[in-house]
Structure 1
Amino acid sequence: MEKGVKILMILALLSVSTVAFCGGAVVEENRTFVDDVGREITLPVTIDAVSPSGPLAQIVLYSLDQDLFVSVSSEFTDAQATYIDPRLLTLPVTGQFYGSKASTMNPESIMELNRQLNIDVVLDIGEAKQTMKTDLDDIQAKTNVPFAFITQNKLEDIPGSYVKLGELLSRPERGQELSDYVSALLAEFDSGMKKVGDNKKSLIYVTAIDGNSVSMVGSGSYHAEVIDYLANNLAKPAASSSGTGDGYTMEDILQMDPDYIIVGYTDGHAYYNEIMTKPMWQSLSAVKEGNVYEAPYGPYNWMGGPPSVQRLLSMIWLGNLMYPDVFDYTIDDRVKEFYSLFFRYDLTDAELDNLMVYAKPGTAPTSAPTPAQSPAPLFGVLAGLAAAAAIIGAGRRR
């Protein structure tokens, strides 16, 4: 009897231990994360299903780990698709939580997607807004899906954002790798720009042209951070928060007469070609000296749109372009390195040439149409007619 009691006691202890162990294992399956607006979020220990809340989050998440996507905030264009993991082109679109297209993300679509894919977290990245904590708490309560915010607004935010993102998404080594790269790059440029000192080149960034109306990104804008850092941005302080910038006339630009003109990419290089061929632009020093360049595009606009980690490419490009003695490196090698590290895409030489078709010295079209000339003098016309008649007569004699 006594022996039986002992056996029962041992079994009871084993049972309690097992329950405690299992309970401990259950607890360990979740963790608490504090995001950049101070919200405590319960998350799985391992994250493998993420939805971006907008274009900026989509860019940054892609650079960290493209395998984490279970949805995208917007469809990729044909120009972007070349460099994007084909799997992402088939994913559902959940829209944008903040910004001008905020209404395209709604709780119902998130809830439906969550039922299908079991989302671990919806990621929001950018500048913290005053209502953000309340907004994210509200949509998280409605959807029962965790939402997390990471600050990435200025260039100086990028290294820390990758460390925090690596912690959030259980990819600490990858986050640290990208953080270290950006920290080294920013240190390199801080040192280089000290050498440049007061000898900055003057520059305008043209985003759109419509006849005599020209849009440019103004100084002090979030979208102009790289421009303001590397050059003397001749555009006035930004009035609009839009990435397109503010409106100017050709008369304004003629008065500015910048050293360099950077023009935004568009299909068929339309804006670039207009600057290079239309008479009204030809008196500008930048045009005369061949210092007009089109910002590369793929998978995102290097100058921004929205401003995110691809702006680091514009730093690498513009630094070498304007100050080659200070930023003395082979641009092709640095661009390929960036694409491999951030986009996990190995650029071929042909792809790089296509990307930077009008982004390097000496790449301006050699057969650009010339401005219209005044009518030829009468004797020139008569001489031309006589030459034509002689050629026709020679042809008949044959």
Structure 2
Amino acid sequence: MPAGRRALLAASLAGLAAPARAERRVGDATGRRIGVPDRIARVVPAGPPAAILLYTLAPELLAGWPARPPSPAEAAFLTPEAATLPQIGRLTGRDNTANLEAVLAQRPDLVLDYGATGPTYVSLAERIREQTGLPALLLDGALPKIPETYRLLGGILDRPAEAAAREQDATRILAGAAEAAETLRARGRPRVLYLRGPRGLETGLAGSINTEIIEAAGAENVAGSALGPGGLVQISLEQVLAWAPDWIICQHPDALAQARQDPLWRALPAVQAGRIVLLPGLPFGWMDFPPSVNRLLGLLWLPVLFGVRPREGLAEAVAGFHERFYHRRPAASQVEALLRPALPPA
């Protein structure tokens, strides 16, 4: 946006800004010290990862969903209040769709972003602050940082007890995954390919936040090994056939159905052996989609998938996670429906 238009927009939005209130200064993951209201009652998430993080800690503060309201299938795993929150659009990312006037009309106290913390994202946070007059905080979305992020966010939102509980849960899950990963590496790392989208021809490379939990679980991301570091990338069926992964994890049911029906896909040893599964995705994906704290569920599941943890107990672990993080305990039938396509037949 040209500087002149930004100035006009800022001036036009000034009247919508919240009146001056008592402030305290807090630090975010970038080291910036930012003034926030003493009492925070409403938070706008800049993108889906921030929305999930905020929902798991303080659902009553969530102003709305950045991408879209939850579908009926997703809503069945959320609180009724969260399921009916409006779509407010994204403030950051390639699908930047938020209307700033509509955002400010909700009288939020701050904007929260969660993910990468490099200079580009600091610049985006500063731009949001300049355009809205709201404090814009950025927290680190790296998987090992989840406990620290809960502790930091709990201080910002004045939710120390809730943050301590989530921090403890996340620490336990990460430690359990690390222990299982050591066992898996000693046995021999399975070579895993994660297929995103209905065609199954998108994946994440080495170091990608979208496939980070594969390595955290002790397995090898075959796309990362073959193509090196990077983010999301399009791949071909020829590459998949050449890599011949031990396990295939599909994000979309159409990709799973195609792999089981297409003769070329069925030539893969993993498909022939039944080592192809569907990633659970309700209310949020267990691998990414988006890459937020929902990935902790993937670290409960992958050690079971790879045979270093018993199946017994997984259903209860999933239900307990939902109860603590998503504030709604699913029925046994809901958990069974999540796990059925995510594990090969016993």
TM range (shorter): 0.7 to 0.9
Q: How many angstroms does 1:175 deviate by?
A: 0.9
Residue 30 of structure 2 is matched in structure 1 by 37
Q: How many angstroms does 1:164 deviate by?
A: 0.3
Assess, with a 3 A threshold, how the Cα gap between structure 1 residues 257 and 50 changes in structure 2: closer, same or farther.
same
Give the 3-state SS of the residue equivalent to 2:26 in structure 1. Answer: strand
For residues 120 and 264 of structure 2, what CA distance do their matches in structure 1 show?
Answer: 47
Can you give the 5+ residue segments of structure 2 that lack an aligned partner in the other structure? Answer: 1-19
| Aligned with residue 234 of structure 1, among 222, 229, 233 | 222
Assess, with a 3 A threshold, how the Cα gap between structure 1 residues 100 and 239 changes in structure 2: closer, same or farther.
farther
Paired residues, number: 322
Is the 1:239–1:246 Cα contact (8 Å) retained in structure 2?
Answer: no
The structure with the largest alpha-carbon Rg is 1
Is the 1:30–1:42 Cα contact (8 Å) retained in structure 2?
Answer: yes
| Aligned with residue 194 of structure 2, among 202, 205, 218 | 205
Assess, with a 3 A threshold, how the Cα gap between structure 1 residues 135 and 205 changes in structure 2: closer, same or farther.
closer
| Aligned with residue 307 of structure 2, among 300, 307, 323 | 323
For residues 142 and 203 of structure 1, what CA distance do their matches in structure 2 show?
Answer: 43
| Aligned with residue 266 of structure 2, among 244, 257, 282 | 282
For residues 209 and 138 of structure 1, what CA distance do their matches in structure 2 show?
Answer: 35
Residue 180 of structure 2 is matched in structure 1 by 192
Residue 360 of structure 1 is matched in structure 2 by 343
- Once the two structures are aligned, what percentage of the paired residues are identical? 27
Q: Residue 310 in 1 paired to residue 294 in 2? A: yes
| Aligned with residue 53 of structure 2, among 19, 43, 60 | 60
TM-score by length of 2: 0.85
For residues 131 and 240 of structure 1, what CA distance do their matches in structure 2 show?
Answer: 17
Residue 261 of structure 1 is matched in structure 2 by 248
Question: 1:346-398 CA deviation, whole Å, 9 max, x = no partner?
Answer: 111111122223112218xxxxxxxxxxxxxxxxxxxxxxxxxxxxxxxxxxx
Assess, with a 3 A threshold, how the Cα gap between structure 1 residues 348 and 140 changes in structure 2: closer, same or farther.
same
The two structures, once aligned, show a CA RMSD in angstroms of 2.4
Is the 1:217–1:238 Cα contact (8 Å) retained in structure 2?
Answer: no
Q: Residue 171 in 1 paired to residue 165 in 2? A: no
Can you give the 5+ residue segments of structure 1 that lack an aligned partner in the other structure? Answer: 1-26, 364-398
Assess, with a 3 A threshold, how the Cα gap between structure 1 residues 298 and 362 changes in structure 2: closer, same or farther.
same
For residues 328 and 279 of structure 1, what CA distance do their matches in structure 2 show?
Answer: 31
Question: 1:263-314 CA deviation, whole Å, 9 max, x = no partner?
Answer: 113xxx2221221222222232212222111001100111101211111111
TM-score by length of 1: 0.74
Assess, with a 3 A threshold, how the Cα gap between structure 1 residues 191 and 328 changes in structure 2: closer, same or farther.
farther
Give the 3-state SS of the residue equivalent to 1:222 in structure 2. Answer: coil
Residue 109 of structure 2 is matched in structure 1 by 120
> Which of structures 1 and 2 has the larger relative contact order (alpha carbons within 8 angstroms, sep 6+)?
2
For residues 87 and 101 of structure 2, what CA distance do their matches in structure 1 show?
Answer: 13
Please list, as runs of the form range in 1=range in 2, the aligned pairs for 1:1-398 lying within 5 A after superposition.
29-75=22-68, 76-102=70-96, 104-114=97-107, 119-152=108-141, 154-198=142-186, 199-208=188-197, 210=199, 214-229=201-216, 230-235=218-223, 236-237=226-227, 241-242=231-232, 245-249=233-237, 251-265=238-252, 269-324=253-308, 326=309, 330-362=313-345
Assess, with a 3 A threshold, how the Cα gap between structure 1 residues 41 and 357 changes in structure 2: closer, same or farther.
same
Assess, with a 3 A threshold, how the Cα gap between structure 1 residues 276 and 133 changes in structure 2: closer, same or farther.
closer
Assess, with a 3 A threshold, how the Cα gap between structure 1 residues 108 and 287 changes in structure 2: closer, same or farther.
same
Assess, with a 3 A threshold, how the Cα gap between structure 1 residues 132 and 286 changes in structure 2: closer, same or farther.
closer
Assess, with a 3 A threshold, how the Cα gap between structure 1 residues 132 and 295 changes in structure 2: closer, same or farther.
closer
Assess, with a 3 A threshold, how the Cα gap between structure 1 residues 328 and 190 changes in structure 2: closer, same or farther.
farther
Q: How many angstroms does 1:247 deviate by?
A: 1.4
For residues 112 and 94 of structure 1, what CA distance do their matches in structure 2 show?
Answer: 11
Q: How many angstroms does 1:209 deviate by?
A: 5.6
For residues 138 and 254 of structure 1, what CA distance do their matches in structure 2 show?
Answer: 45
For residues 288 and 123 of structure 1, what CA distance do their matches in structure 2 show?
Answer: 45
Is the 2:204–2:231 Cα contact (8 Å) retained in structure 1?
Answer: no
Is the 2:246–2:270 Cα contact (8 Å) retained in structure 1?
Answer: yes
Q: Which amino acid aligns with 1:214?
A: L
Q: Which amino acid aligns with 1:263?
A: C
Q: How many angstroms does 1:329 deviate by?
A: 5.1
For residues 233 and 111 of structure 1, what CA distance do their matches in structure 2 show?
Answer: 42
For residues 131 and 100 of structure 2, what CA distance do their matches in structure 1 show?
Answer: 6
Give the 3-state SS of the residue equivalent to 1:94 in structure 2. Answer: coil
Is the 2:192–2:249 Cα contact (8 Å) retained in structure 1?
Answer: yes
Is the 2:198–2:254 Cα contact (8 Å) retained in structure 1?
Answer: no
Is the 2:207–2:230 Cα contact (8 Å) retained in structure 1?
Answer: no
Q: How many angstroms does 1:327 deviate by?
A: 6.0
Is the 2:207–2:229 Cα contact (8 Å) retained in structure 1?
Answer: no
Give the 3-state SS of the residue equivalent to 1:286 in structure 2. Answer: helix
Q: How many angstroms does 1:121 deviate by?
A: 1.4
Give the 3-state SS of the residue equivalent to 1:357 in structure 2. Answer: helix
